Amino acid sequence: MADALSLNGASGGNSSRARFQAEAGERGIRALLSGAAGTSVLCVAGILGFLAWFSLPLLQPGQLAAVLSWTWQPTSGRFGILPMAVGSLLLASSAMLLAFPLGLGLALFVNGLGPRVLAKHLGALVRLMSGVPTVVYGLASMFLLVPLVRASFTGTSGFSWLAAMLVLALLVLPTVTLVLDGQLRLVAPELRLTTAALGLSEAQSLVRLALPQCGQGLKAAAALGFGRAIGDTLIALMLSGNAAQVPHSPLDSLRALTAHIALVLATDSQSQAYGSLFACGLVLFGVSLAVNLGLRALRRGPRRAALSAHSDRPLPGLETAATGLAWASALLVPAALAALLGFLLLRGLPTVSLALFFGDTLPLDALLHGAPVFDGLWPACLGTLWLVGLAALFAVPVGLAGGIHLAEFATGRAARLAAFCVDLLAGVPSILMGLFGFALILLLRRTFWPSANTCLLLSALCLALLVLPYLVSATRAALAGLPQELRLTCAALGLSRWQAVRRVLLPAARQGILGGVVLALGRATEDTAVILLTGVVAGAGRPGALTDKFEALPFTIYYLAAEHQTPQELNLAFGAALTLLALTLALFALARRLSDGAWRPGT
């Protein structure tokens, strides 16, 4: 900061007043930027504060013991949340146990253990997977996997720990794979020449040398995947059966904390059941905090393990085992994905028609004159469009400004706190954003805004919270990825820090930032858990006002999957799933293209 000012001073000049104004302007802009970065701190503090505030009644004598018990039977006054806490842990850990080796296998496959031509396609497939909405996985699994589990084993309805675990593993797989892939990409190339010169095969080089150096990457992948798994609501809600018990076998039904919040939020807002939900929220928040702290500790640790540490362990057959794992993953994962998405296409494609969107209303009437549409997806499409648009309106300016601040201006403790809060916010389960929004409305109604209600605006605000950290991180990373020489050149030309950011750095980082924005849009489009608690309904028609209830595609899928009264309504769900999938895949593909085209020297 000081050097920028002195540089400006050194540029000398006769119009000191103009310079003073420019400096004041720059200070104003910087204040705005740091304010934006501070928003993430406020958000985290707000969510935590709400959870703690509403959990407070539990601190009365005997209450805490009642909540930390093993029986959930509100009708007989028992509000134990431990079965759900155990359910969440079991579900997330088991999903990780499955996803981690598969992810490792995929990462090894694309980094040299598989044929190059396949590796390229597999890499694309994994990235595509990260664009599949959870509710779409949920729908396809409900009608393909659950009946399969029911038919394959005796004594299970199919809605089980096993079914939820398998799909959840698929859901977190891209996260695990992409982190590991990123790590291997960092270390493998520089080792390749050396190991080739030593006469080692590619497999030996990868497994014996590159992988041991990725120790932190392995742990980071596990932590991130676990955080994603435990924070998911829809898979657990749709597939696990939701019995409030500790399961005895993978074929039993279980209830996760996130699904529990979604199921029970409904109850009387002054009851113990309601209070215990915030305890669930605190537990979930605690888990994401722990995951985050773990990740930070990893980042601070020594960057690489010593090479020699592993040379004295021969472990014969390691290469064969790794190659086997890589091939098994490369076959299993695409097969599972093809089964689910193939099923979706099979059921969804025949439903695609104008009637899918407009029901029995004339499309032109609906489009031009706003004629109401019943039994069609049009209102839900419009609702999603409004929702994502509004969320972007709130989140994009704040996220970009926060990212710029963290990348270019922030220093010291405040900056570290802001960065930490951004990471933490990214790990907070989306259902907590919804819980936050719902509790906020209740609080507002009881205090100074008696007519506050769950509505489109509230959902958009909560969704903005959800995508804010993606925007900050993407902007920050895009700016941080620019070569340092750019900044030096700007300074040497006498540009102030903000001038440098605005005229040179931001244009140079444009594509990376845009990629982040599009990715955030995709995330907002597919989320179901947030809107579930903040104002979405099954039948609202076209979105009218910001304070109205609304329809949205992901909720329509969730609702119709469980509630369809006729085969036609179920078809509507598959049609909606296909529409949503097309939408998010397009957004993710676009984000990918933009990020790929990010800064390269010479452009």
Contact flag: residue 484 with other proteins (CB under 8 A): no
Q: Which stretch binds other proteins (CB under 8 A): 130-138, 293-301, 335-343, 437-445?
A: 437-445
Least CB distance from residue 562 to other proteins, whole Å?
A: 4
Long-range contacts of 145-149 (CB under 8 A, 24+ apart): 145/239, 145/340, 146/239, 149/251
Contact flag: residue 367 with other proteins (CB under 8 A): no
Contact flag: residue 243 with other proteins (CB under 8 A): yes
Q: Which stretch binds other proteins (CB under 8 A): 40-48, 123-131, 418-426, 440-448?
A: 440-448
DSSP tag of 77: T
Least CB distance from residue 138 to other proteins, whole Å?
A: 13
- Contact indicator for 437, 458 with CB cutoff of 8 Å: yes
Closer to other proteins by CB, 328 or 537: give it: 537
Q: Is the dihedral of CA 153, 159, 164, 165 positive or negative?
A: negative
Give the integer Cα–Cα distance in Å for 533 and 50: 15
Contact flag: residue 144 with other proteins (CB under 8 A): no
Question: Contact with other proteins (CB under 8 A): which of 124, 196, 266, 335?
Answer: 266
User: Could you give phi then psi for residue 300, rounded to 5 degrees?
Assistant: -75, -25
Closer to other proteins by CB, 102 or 280: give it: 280
Question: Contact with other proteins (CB under 8 A): which of 127, 150, 296, 503?
Answer: 150
Closer to other proteins by CB, 123 or 158: give it: 158
Q: Which stretch binds other proteins (CB under 8 A): 27-35, 61-69, 147-155, 490-498?
A: 147-155
Site string for other proteins, 519-548 (x = CB under 8 A): ------------------xxxxx--x---x
Angle between helices 16-55 and 430-446 (to 10 degrees): 90
**Nearest CA-CA partner of 81 in 250, 229, 216, 282:** 282
Contact flag: residue 165 with other proteins (CB under 8 A): no
Torsion on CA atoms 443, 448, 453, 459, rounded to nearest 10: -70
Q: Burial-class residue 312 by CB neighbours within 10 Å (0-12, 13-18, 19+).
A: exposed
Q: Which stretch binds other proteins (CB under 8 A): 145-153, 291-299, 303-311, 577-585?
A: 145-153
- The H or E element spanning position 341 is helix 318-348
Question: Contact with other proteins (CB under 8 A): which of 145, 380, 441, 505?
Answer: 441
Least CB distance from residue 64 to other proteins, whole Å?
A: 21
User: DSSP assignment of 34-67, as one string?
Assistant: HHHHHHHHHHHHHHHHHHHHHHGGGGSTTHHHHH
Least CB distance from residue 266 to other proteins, whole Å?
A: 4
Q: Which residue has the tokens 């605190």?
A: 282
Q: Which residues of the chain form contacts with other proteins (CB under 8 A)?
A: 71-72, 74-75, 143, 146-147, 150, 154-159, 241-245, 252-253, 255, 263-264, 266-269, 273, 372, 374, 441-442, 445, 450-451, 453-454, 537-541, 544, 548-549, 562-565
